[in-house]
Amino acid sequence: MNYEELLAFAGRNPMLSLAFAGLTIAIIVTEIARLFRGYKSIKPAELTRLINAGDAVVIDLSAGSDFEKGHITGSRNVQPAQLTPTHKLLASARQSPVVLVCRTGTGTASSNAAKALKKAGFEQVSVLDGGIAAWQAADLPLVKGRG
Asked whether residue 139 carries a pLDDT value surpassing 90, the answer given is yes
CATH, residue 69: 3.40.250.10
User: Which residues have C-beta within 8 Å of that of residue 76, sequence separation ≥ 6?
Assistant: 57, 58, 59, 60, 89, 147
pLDDT tens digits for range 57-71: 999 998 888 899 999
Q: Same structural domain for residues 67 and 107?
A: yes
Q: Same structural domain for residues 26 and 46?
A: no
Asked whether residue 30 carries a pLDDT value surpassing 80, the answer given is no
Confidence of residue 92 (pLDDT cuts 50, 70, 90): confident
Q: Same structural domain for residues 31 and 49?
A: no
Tell me whether residue 125 is exposed, middle or buried, using C-beta atoms within 10 angstroms of its C-beta: 0 to 12, 13 to 18, 19 or more: buried
**Domain annotation covers residue 76:** yes
Q: Same structural domain for residues 85 and 25?
A: no
Q: Same structural domain for residues 54 and 97?
A: yes
Q: Same structural domain for residues 97 and 115?
A: yes
Q: Same structural domain for residues 19 and 51?
A: no
Asked whether residue 106 carries a pLDDT value surpassing 80, the answer given is no
Residues of the chain above pLDDT 90, percent: 35
Q: Same structural domain for residues 7 and 58?
A: no
Confidence of residue 107 (pLDDT cuts 50, 70, 90): low
Pairwise CA distance, residues 143 & 124, whole Å: 25
Q: Same structural domain for residues 60 and 131?
A: yes
Q: Same structural domain for residues 62 and 7?
A: no
- The confidence score (pLDDT) of residue 25 equals 93
- The confidence score (pLDDT) of residue 142 equals 92
Q: Same structural domain for residues 19 and 70?
A: no
Mean pLDDT of 39-60: 90
Domain membership of residue 19 as a residue range = 3-35
Total of domains in the chain:
2
**Domain annotation covers residue 44:** yes
Pairwise CA distance, residues 58 & 47, whole Å: 9
**Domain annotation covers residue 127:** yes
Pairwise CA distance, residues 63 & 78, whole Å: 8
Closest CA to 137 of 43, 26, 31: 43
Residues of the chain above pLDDT 70, percent: 95
**Domain annotation covers residue 53:** yes
Asked whether residue 34 carries a pLDDT value surpassing 80, the answer given is no
Asked whether residue 45 carries a pLDDT value surpassing 90, the answer given is yes
Asked whether residue 36 carries a pLDDT value surpassing 80, the answer given is no
**For 120, left (φ over 0), alpha (ψ -120 to 50), or beta?**
alpha
